[in-house]
Structure 1
Amino acid sequence: STVTSRGTLRAMSPRSPSIILARSVPRDVTVECVRGLRTRLQRAMKEAGSHVVAVTGTSPGAGTSFVALNLAWVLAETGQRVLLVDANLRGGWLHRCFREAHLPGLHEVLRGTATLEQALLQEAAPGLSFLGAGALPPDPAELLAGAAFDTFVARVAAEYDVVLFDTPCILAVTDAALVGRHAGVRLAVVRAATQSLREVATALHQLEQSGVPARGVVLNGVPRSRAGRAVSGVYQYEYPSAS
């Protein structure tokens, strides 16, 4: 299943609360397009029999965090209990979008130096809870491969209707695959005009070789003037590269 996206968005700081378009401009065409992606995701979760979702990118700056953040927001609009987890233990910054301090977060929960209750931002929006990355650890891959992460995922999957992980890009590190093994649905975000088809195929193949193939591909940042009406069912959003 593949979801394609294109679009235009006003300039803004990519690591500020303003990238939560679902909050700042809820009726914008961009947000309506994210809601269309939500519909496809809900169908994919039902088919997969899982409500754990991992969002990754095929390159740095693809827009993974933007997609994960706004997708979590519009999922919560449906009345579901949603948890957004910043699983980028190498450089997570989503806490800034909620004007929260960096600590504690997923790192501390996995280390056992903080409880989930202490680290969780409850009701970041109606129905939406958020867990930041926390302090950046020296051994992120080891943490994500460990038993503590297995236990964490099992717990939050039992407590929430949807658990959405924002992860680092596929090619840079193994973290996306480590998180992806727990997800029934994996989305790969591709930023238009930044990678060749071969590079994208290589990234997707890497996920598949790791045993966690992408269920959908989100193409981010294609200007409307280029895409025109050539693609049916197109989803559109674009933002300044950062993620």
Structure 2
Amino acid sequence: MECVRGLRTRLQRAMKEAGSHVVAVTGTSPGAGTSFVALNLAWVLAETGKRVLLVDANLRGGWLHRCFREAHLPGLHEVLRGTATLEQALLQEAAPGLSFLGAGALPPDPAELLASAAFDTFVARVAAEYDVVLFDTPCILAVTDAALVGRHAGVRLAVVRAAAQSLREVATALHQLEQSGVPAQGVVLNGVPRSRTGRAVSGVYQYEYPSAS
């Protein structure tokens, strides 16, 4: 969690520089841990007293609702279709300061929904009501959804899983984001092996304060 809090500090600076508090998180490949990063980042942002909205924008297989012990319906899909209001779909105060909107039922046309005027209106509304809006999106190499959501974000983060992807695959994913007009402002290295001695692990140094005995 201290690593996530360190990411929070950098993200807050990036949002200030971008002049936007809408953040999109994507993975460079399936299994990178995008949802894990988005969930924990939303949690620590809410710890600072900000009103945070976490949106599961993975309309192809979102599962974040399970973390809140909530049913699958309704969610972002139903809000964009107009079959549910935001108030009906929103899980308010999922944690102090944190609200959550699940993906809802998986639609047959997720890319079209995320490219629609309804999604534009949705983002404008939640951006006006929350201090931070955090979108969890699918892997950029699999589908175009991350780029569609990224158009609305001032800050975009790409999650890479340590020792699970080649440099070529990561470079291709970052290039695809850039070619789509939504370059990543930062890369999150997830799943780095933990060091108990402070020695470098995969090029990352890690230190800890001794716990009180």
The runs of 5 or more residues in structure 1 that have no matched partner are: 1-30
Closer/same/farther in 2, CA of residues 73 and 181 from structure 1, 3 Å limit: same
Tell me how large the CA RMSD over aligned residues is. 5.1
Greater RCO, CA 8 A, separation 6+: 1
Write the distance in 2 (CA, Å) between the matches of 1:201 and 1:61: 17
Write the distance in 2 (CA, Å) between the matches of 1:168 and 1:241: 38
Cα displacement string for residues 20-69 of structure 1 (whole angstroms, at most 9, x for unaligned residues): xxxxxxxxxxx111111000000000000000000000000000000000
> TM-score, normalised to structure 2's length?
0.93
Closer/same/farther in 2, CA of residues 227 and 49 from structure 1, 3 Å limit: farther
Q: 1:80 aligns with which of 46, 50, 61?
A: 50
Number of aligned residues: 213
Write the distance in 1 (CA, Å) between the matches of 2:135 and 2:176: 19
Closer/same/farther in 2, CA of residues 242 and 104 from structure 1, 3 Å limit: farther
Secondary structure of the structure 2 residue equivalent to 1:66: helix
Q: 1:64 aligns with which of 19, 27, 34?
A: 34
Write the distance in 1 (CA, Å) between the matches of 2:109 and 2:212: 23
Closer/same/farther in 2, CA of residues 165 and 227 from structure 1, 3 Å limit: farther
Cα displacement string for residues 132-153 of structure 1 (whole angstroms, at most 9, x for unaligned residues): 0000000000000000000000
Write the distance in 1 (CA, Å) between the matches of 2:110 and 2:189: 28
> TM-score, normalised to structure 1's length?
0.82
Closer/same/farther in 2, CA of residues 151 and 44 from structure 1, 3 Å limit: same
Closer/same/farther in 2, CA of residues 146 and 237 from structure 1, 3 Å limit: farther
Q: Please say if residues 221 and 238 of structure 1, whose CA atoms lie closer than 8 Å, have aligned partners that are also in contact.
A: no
Q: Please say if residues 61 and 106 of structure 2, whose CA atoms lie closer than 8 Å, have aligned partners that are also in contact.
A: yes
Q: Please say if residues 33 and 235 of structure 1, whose CA atoms lie closer than 8 Å, have aligned partners that are also in contact.
A: no
Displacement after TM superposition at 1:230 (Å): 4.0
Secondary structure of the structure 2 residue equivalent to 1:227: coil
